Chains A and B, each alone.
Chain A
Amino acid sequence: MDSLKSEQNESMQTIFAIRHLNLYYGKKQALHDINVDLYEHCVTALIGPSGCGKSTFLRCLNRMNDLIDDCKIDGQILYHGTDVQSVNPILLRTKVGMVFQQPNPFPMSIYDNICYGPRCQGVRNRTHLNELVERSLREAALWDEVKDRLKTNGMALSGGQQQRLCIARALAMSPEVLLMDEPTSALDPISTKKIEELVMSLKERYTIIIVTHNLQQAARIADYTSFFLLGDLVETNKTETLFSRPSNEKTERYITGRFG
């Protein structure tokens, strides 16, 4: 578990520092003493078998676990050095955006989907919103496909387009971090490729933390990879290191498919 320190790149800025994180659903402990640093302008992939706590961990970072009644959190999640438990979750979520497994556009126009977040923050200026819509859609590589039909319902788009719309919607808030919870698991290979390319292009401006079941995907797009198993963070390392020379035997067994 301490191996992450040795591989640390000193030029990277830590954006999230997680210290002794324990998470309980009622009496059941879902995360055991997680310690990890996540770096700015990197893609960090979280891998592991189903039910290992990687999504739970992801949802800690923007406090989406607050919505679950009997969820209790111990330890510290430092975002730029501030414990996220002490900040306003609404403010936190404007800085730490999220994209879900199932594309979930709102049943409203593409335009209104993008404007939803900014409008909730009180942005009313029409020209500003127009610019925001175009910028976000361009960033999400969706602009060319939908620029002529911004008034159509977001639900009418294809699955891949819906997911890119959701990414654009999150980008409209100008977040620092984008959390992605298996964003391609409901999509076909072509849409998946588009999203992957998108993620690669987005990491220059944003920090991306992505949960994925697809090991090849993690290998393709992630700078760092963390391997979770049964609520433990087994290993975090640079992706190439983790996939070529895993320091933990469990990791090796998982990535070679002999396990989990």
Chain B
Amino acid sequence: MNENLSLFDAKESKKIERKRRMKDFLAAGSTYLFSSFSLLALIAILVFVFSKGWNTLSAAFIVGDYNATLTSVTTNQAITETTNTFTYQAKDGEYFAENWGLAFTDSTTTEGNPIVRLSYVDPYSNTTSWIDSNTGEAFRPKVGEMITVVTLCDSPAENEIKIVSGNKGAENMAANFRKYNFVKNMTANVGGGGIRGSLISTLWMILFTLLFALPLGIGGAIYLGVYAKNNVITRTLRNAIDMISGIPSIIFGLVGGIVFLPIAAGSGSSGNLITGSLTMACMILPIIIKSTEESIRAIPLRQSQASLALGASQTQTVFKIILPNALPGILTSALLGVGRVIGESAALVYTSGTAIKDVIIPTQGSATLAVHIWTLMSGETMNYGASCAVSILILFVILLLSLTVKLLSLSVQKKQKGK
């Protein structure tokens, strides 16, 4: 009795209270701290990606070719000597070669490498004799064209030759153009570094993956949700499906490479979009099966009972009642699968190739957006700018997808409440 009382002793209880508060503070504080870390991580990712990639992101970047169109220019040197002097009010950062009527500015390629661009071409600029050496037609330089390299000389006799590279800066380029009155040849560069090819390749990949995975997944879900009896085989199957979703994607890539590539090789091709999407289909299969099965189970039993009691067969019930009702769930699973396909790189590196292409043929290997990042970053110089720009695109699409999934599930809830 006395011992019990001592628990409520004023001094003691104050001490206990203080101790408890301390513990509560530590426990609560650490949960706040840890939970804020995930928010911090998200913010850090967004800040990093946007700060690095935002400047690179442009319409030209999204719809542009990855491989630049190179134009070689040779000149008819007899008439290329500049005699005029042009005037142009050069803006800040522009360097004007008065003898040519051309202004240059420092710029970067779509991928983010330094390059010199033409920022002004005088309408009468002395470039009329430039000839595109590929087509043999006259070549008029245009504003925005990038100059990769140019060979200048002092006279048609070529006593003194100067090769100027486009990555040495606009000031250097303008100074050399001022100094020399003859252009021997020049390589101009239009576009390049764009991601249109990878974008299209991603779309193909999504299409093919869903084409393979949806019938298999929906079929599996119908079996598990409608036909399967609750026995050892069914339980094993369920566990297997759960385990598939836990397998690291690189292992899918390896196995896909081993299993699907020989099949593709048989048809005379190495890893391509089809083999890649087969691998992706295996990866997203559990997502589709689980989500579809859940939505099948959510359909009130009385619906299928009503159908069966009307003399419909089990199959008719599945196709006329269960599947239409499960459609939102199937759509949700497809969208989740699409998110997975867009973001996947490891499984595709071995199965659909890392080569970035501009012309996409499904039976040839080409990089998707995520693999595009992998390729950009695995070069000698890591290209953070372009990679982050691609990342922004991927994040944006994923955000859109998850919003759509939220809206879908909301509408399903509403429908089930009969609104």
- Confirm or deny: A234 has a beta carbon within 8 angstroms of a beta carbon on chain B: no
Least CB distance from A84 to B in Å reads: 14
Which of A1-9, A86-94, A213-221 faces chain B? A86-94
Q: How far is the CB of A64 from chain B (nearest CB, A)?
A: 6
Is B411 at the interface (CB under 8 A from chain A)? Answer: no
Chain B residues near A107 (CB-CB < 8 A)? 325, 415
- Known A64-B305, A120-B316: A104·B300 in contact at CB below 8 Å: yes
Answer whether A93 and B230 are a contact pair too, CB < 8 Å, given A104-B302, A116-B320. Answer: no
Instruction: Please choose the segment from A73-81, A166-174, A191-199 that sits at the chain B interface, where 4 or more of its residues have CB less than 8 A away.
Output: A166-174
Give the residues from 106 to 146 in chain A that come closer than 8 angstroms, CB to CB, to chain B: 106-107, 116-117, 120-121
Contact B300 A117 (CB under 8 A): no
Q: With A and B bound together, what is the CA distance between A67 and B314 in angstroms? A: 10
Bound CA–CA A169/B310 (angstroms): 8
Q: Does A243 sit within 8 A of B, measured CB to CB?
A: no
How many chain A residues touch the partner (CB < 8 A)?
Answer: 25
Answer whether A120 and B306 are a contact pair too, CB < 8 Å, given A104-B300, A107-B325: no
Bound Cα distance A102, B305 (Å): 11
Closest to A113 in B: B306
Q: Across the interface, name the chain A residue whose C-beta is closest to B317.
A: A120
Given contacts A104-B303, A155-B418, contact A90 B320 (CB under 8 A): no
A120 touches B320 (CB 8 A): yes
Q: Taking the complex as formed, is B379 at the interface, i.e. its CB lies under 8 A from any CB of chain A?
A: no
> Are A64 and B311 neighbours in the complex by a CB distance under 8 Å?
no
The B interface is mostly helix, strand or loop, or mixed, namely: helix
Do B307 and A116 have beta carbons less than 8 Å apart?
yes
Please give, as numbers and ranges, the residues of chain A lying within 8 Å of B313 by CB-CB distance.
90, 120
- B309 beta carbon closer than 8 Å to chain A: yes
Least Cβ–Cβ distance between A159 and chain B, in angstroms: 11
Partner of B310, one of A67, A91, A155, A170: A170
Given contacts A67-B305, A100-B302, A100-B306, contact A120 B230 (CB under 8 A): no
Contact of A104 among B305, B316, B418 (CB under 8 A): B305
Closest to A93 in B: B311
- What 4 pairs between A and B have smallest CB-CB spacing? A94-B311, A117-B310, A98-B309, A104-B302
A-binding residues in B (CB < 8 A): 229-230, 300, 302-303, 305-313, 316, 320-321, 325, 415, 418
Which A residues have a C-beta under 8 Å from some C-beta of B? Answer: 62, 64, 67, 69, 90-91, 93-94, 97-98, 100, 102, 104-107, 116-117, 120-121, 155, 166, 169-170, 173
Q: A100-B309, A117-B312 are in contact. List 10 more A-B contacts (CB 8 A).
A: A62-B309, A64-B305, A93-B310, A100-B305, A104-B300, A104-B302, A107-B415, A117-B311, A120-B310, A120-B316
